Amino acid sequence: MNISSIVVKTHPDRLAQVMEGLREIETCDIHFSDEQGRIVVTVEGTDDADETAKLKRIQALPGVASADFSYTYNDHEAHATEE
């Protein structure tokens, strides 16, 4: 399982529209938004490719000016350090 945080930026006038689009993405959770159009979400994926596909879907939402990974956690890496 992978979990990543993504910082999404939009024009303040498009905030509600982008938030609605984010709510429609499976395993996408909104944690923060402000009146300046900044949104922080997390997404879960089965692997890097799954998470990258979700990032691309977010980037393609109408009104999104930018969306980039901020932090990524991979439980496979965590288990590798325990061995």
Q: Summarize pLDDT for 49-81 with one digit per residue, the tens.
A: 999 999 999 999 999 999 999 998 988 655 555
Residue 52, domain CATH? 3.30.70.920
In this prediction the pTM is: 0.86
Angle at the Cα of 11 (from 15 to 52), degrees rounded to 5?
75
Q: Which two tokens stand for residue 53?
A: 């596909």
H runs (alpha helix) in the chain: 15-23, 48-59, 75-82
Average pLDDT over the chain, rounded to whole?
91
How many domains does the structure of the chain reveal?
A: 1
Name the residue range of residue 59's domain. 2-82
